[in-house]
Amino acid sequence: MTTNNFNNMEESEKYMVDFYGKVLKGVENMMNTSPEDLKSDTLEKELVFQIGKSRLFHYKPLVEPDKVLKIPTMITYALVNRQYMMDIQPDRSVIRNFLEHGLDCYIVDWGYPTREDMYMTMEDYINWYMNDFVDYIIEHSGCPKINLLGVCQGGTFSSIYTALHPAKVNALVTMVTPVDFETNDGLLFAWSKSMDIDSLVDAYGTVPGSLMNISYLLLKPFDLIVDKYIGFGEKMDDPTYLQNFLRMEGWIFDSPDQAGETLRQFVKDLYQDNKLVKGDFKLGGETVNLKNIKCPFLAVVADYDHLVPKAASEPILDAVGSRSKKLLNFPVGHIGMYVSGKSQKQIAPQISEWLVNHSA
């Protein structure tokens, strides 16, 4: 949002005339914008495996076959948003950047849970779905181990998976991933500790994604509800800006419903009891010990993340048992990790380089 200091009525009137002119031009731009102009997830990929509503896709390489990394990488996103943030548009695509650096990428699409999925647990997602996806990649690539790259909650899942199935993981990368939930930095962590998650899940069964989305917007209400849309009005006369904005809005509000038992377990065992980093978390009756993660490990952290503060993501470096481990910090926010200029120029290239160097 532009800050305007009006010294007289004439300046104020001029600003309002200019503002409404931009809005009118923006409305015209919107009327001339087609759904095709706002498409995301445009990289060519093949559906290779499916379990229920969850699907595994394999991206077509963007380099010559002899330059493709032999060890594949499986990308796991959070349940609460859609994975195509990683390929939001061609000039802001983390996946495209990975592929151009020779990575062989698969991605998990968790789909849209419905009422029939309300009893799915973290064990189902990690020890069943993720494990079957990993087994498929191992079988079809001929590699005995693969790389895992987990994003936000998907990084928590990938860390748990690696601790339970270390023989299948060559290297692990976590991006803006919560592991130590003790902190109260950020409203999400403070609120979750006193949340009556039992009543919420018992009432809904499958918790509406729209309800989750409202909660995230209320973490920064002025920035995300007021300021953002005033700023939009000041710039919507620019067709490129308009399309980028609408494309991002489409992703933000494309929020799948949440399997109630998984959400209950994630909030109670992690946000409230912090069992994972304490070594008390169990999955399928087996205790998850992060020290069992001994493969090369890379943690990627955002300095200005209001959803996963550094106090929640950085401690994983001490929690894992890897001898080869590295922390990368970047001056971006949670979403800026994927769509900012630094994402394309620094973040994705450094992750790619690290994976190439640890996939011999």
- Residues marked as catalytic: 152
Backbone angles phi, psi at 334, to 5 degrees: -60, -50
Q: Is 302 helix (H, G, I), strand (E, B) or coil?
A: strand
Measure Cα distances from 147 to 88, 181, 185, 246, 313 in Å: 23, 25, 31, 33, 20
User: What sections of the chain are H helices per DSSP?
Assistant: 9-31, 94-100, 122-123, 131-141, 153-164, 187-193, 197-204, 209-217, 221, 228-235, 239-252, 260-265, 275-278, 310-313, 316-319, 336-339, 341-342, 348-357
What's the token pair of residue 131?
């494990």
Residue partners of 127: CB distance under 8 A and separation at least 6: 161, 164, 283, 284
How far apart CA 25 and CA 238 sit, in angstroms, is 8
Contact 63, 105 (CB under 8 A): no
Identify the burial level of 360 via C-beta atoms within 10 angstroms of its C-beta, where 0-12 means exposed, 13-18 middle and 19 or more buried.
exposed
Strand partners, 57: 47, 107
Distance CA 95, CA 90 (A): 9
CB within 8 Å of 32: residues ≥ 6 apart: 239
Distance in angstroms (rounded) separating the CA atoms of residues 89 and 192: 33
Could you tell me the CA-to-CA distances from 346 to 43, 160, 309, 328 in Å, in that order?
21, 27, 20, 11
Amino acid at 209: G
Indicate the pairing of strand 169-175 with strand 146-151: parallel
